[in-house]
Structure 1
């Protein structure tokens, strides 16, 4: 059995890794580098869509090492790509790593605060990786978390095969100053040994349960100019994208819940809303932020378009958009909150059983950070 296909919580571990990528909603393709029993991976994933990402598989015919797998797949790689190990999960904001990564070489995610002697350590000077230390008693420093932003030029420089990224490629990059790293904290699990495989099966689902911030859209993330649906007319609230990133970095889900009665009134169509949300997601990604899901309600009882002229339990002040998200995501509602600018947002929060915070304007990042700080002390 390929290690990433081992079942954790009654589903392949790789399913969880892919779901974690898909919730960022910025990746167009997920390429699986498969070797041992690759046909099992192909049967499960080839042609599958997760969010906006299409899944493809590169099948090795002979073992070439972790570096050789990239050589084998080089014609399928973009000029810059995110590379993740298939047997470990690290819960941190991937887009922050991508936003920090310099052009050229490799920028790696490091896990800070790992105890024990199982892992080798990384010697970091500012954000430059200087050296790798073998596992040993009393070793300190961050560990390689198996997540990298890679320039394709690195693949072209890999020499004789088979070859290992960790043993052959990264030390050479470190020697010439082309290997960088950033240390993060967050839940980390590597299923490479039986003890940790069993631990992942016991705890992974609950560890991925997170509190959420449910953002209203118009008047909170962007200026409420009245039935906004065009990207070139959208004006961000000061600190809006940074506020979303603060939520991401705190380990919360970030959701948008927005009434869009303009659809029911015939001012625009659903595809306009979907396109605007896609544009907003791409703009947030530029600063390392993401929304896990955009929810909107197109209905209104006074609508003029057949099919949308109706009452809906998803339309705020009803809590339907929130409760629908709870069915799809492992949300810790006890620590979640709604941020809105209207009484209907606060009523929806109350109906869903979460805290509601009324945003009256100003810098949204400062407003959100204050609420996150208060929640962490509660």
Structure 2
């Protein structure tokens, strides 16, 4: 099965905008001929780490707001199909500031969009920051916040009860602080607040929203790094590749995420099981990769085609996103020896209880086997997991979220004991 067959279709979903226009003067000669976001970290440009992380959260539409050496962004645009996204680059004709850069892309922006700094990485659930339940009627944005041991390089943020009340300029004083994490969900209405250019979003727009009670915030605890100074850029070379490596949870689809009615292939046939969406979000926020591995013999039997499977998974991803959750990657097996369509009538190494789908994901992603596990609803699911070298469990009848929490605690305890 080709890579194209196992990737979800590029569909309309949440939109991400990345600020990649800065000069990066603190990095000295490193940025003489290369924009800061394109500096290599590990084996790839730093920007590709950001885009790959967005893609696994379900973002398929990416806008780059470029400036300095903006033509070089074409090297990343050329990799868009490989990254599973569509990329549009807008190059500002002259420096316009972080707020002004948004004006040049106004016609491309959704009503609400995710905005990220292109020189920092914060490990967080992008989708939970957007959760509708946390937006007040007058809100124009939400900001990811991060506590750091030394805030001397950054401006600081005051917040209470999920509301940002004040932004303070960089003081240079060492010591712990809460800082702007460089990730925002914004309403397009913020562009109406931009006056003369250049305009700084951080210094001119966000403080006004904070003073007028229109800005929410979420304190995040995940890994954070800003590559804007030489020491941290060097630290990123080992830390970011290590950050990618993590355990995974593999979930069967029918009977685990949704009721198994037999060959479900349309949104109106999906009834989410109790705690399913909450379980996925919990795993996301615990730092696991979350994968779906599902036998889809309905394709082999002629009940529906592979495009229908992709479309349903895209719809399910959107539904999960509304609850702040996402599936990192999907695998399905359309083959069955009992199929009625010749092209699909075969014994295939992806069809559970064979471990092919799991093994493919283990090869495609930097998965740490220790702490990984599978939850299915049939013995064949467990057999596939064991054949791939990870534990497998049958779903319990009550609530997937409760079971997931218990299994995460169990496997983390095992890892701690092993250490």
Fold similarity call, TM over 0.5: yes
Asked if the contact 1:114–1:143 (Cα under 8 Å) also holds between the matched residues in 2, the reply is: no
1:117 aligns with 2:157: no
Aligned to 1:80: 112
Asked if the contact 2:150–2:174 (Cα under 8 Å) also holds between the matched residues in 1, the reply is: no
Specify which of 314, 321, 326 is matched with residue 278 of structure 1.
314
Specify which of 39, 43, 49 is matched with residue 10 of structure 1.
43
CA RMSD of aligned residues (A): 1.7
Asked if the contact 1:259–1:296 (Cα under 8 Å) also holds between the matched residues in 2, the reply is: yes
Instruction: Flag the 1:47–1:247 CA change in 2: closer, same or farther, 3 A.
Output: closer
Aligned to 1:268: 304
Aligned to 2:373: 337
Asked if the contact 1:18–1:50 (Cα under 8 Å) also holds between the matched residues in 2, the reply is: no
- Structure 2: state its 5+ residue gaps: 1-33, 415-419
Instruction: Flag the 1:235–1:89 CA change in 2: closer, same or farther, 3 A.
Output: same
Asked if the contact 1:240–1:365 (Cα under 8 Å) also holds between the matched residues in 2, the reply is: yes
1:114, 1:315 → 2: CA distance? 49
Specify which of 217, 227, 233 is matched with residue 181 of structure 1.
217
Structure 2 matches for 1:128-139, cutoff 5 A?
128-133=163-168, 134-137=170-173, 139=175
1:48, 1:242 → 2: CA distance? 31
Task: Give the number of equivalent residue pairs.
Answer: 377
Matched residue SS, 2:190: helix
1:189, 1:120 → 2: CA distance? 15
Asked if the contact 2:150–2:177 (Cα under 8 Å) also holds between the matched residues in 1, the reply is: no
Deviates more, 1:146-155 or 1:356-365: 356-365
Taking structure 1 as the reference length, the TM-score comes to: 0.95
Aligned to 1:66: 98
1:44, 1:132 → 2: CA distance? 34
Asked if the contact 1:47–1:56 (Cα under 8 Å) also holds between the matched residues in 2, the reply is: no
Taking structure 2 as the reference length, the TM-score comes to: 0.86
- Structure 1: state its 5+ residue gaps: none
2:271, 2:76 → 1: CA distance? 42
1:161, 1:282 → 2: CA distance? 37
Deviation at 1:138, TM superposition (A): 5.0
Matched residue SS, 2:291: strand
Instruction: Flag the 1:135–1:49 CA change in 2: closer, same or farther, 3 A.
Output: farther
Matched residue SS, 1:318: coil
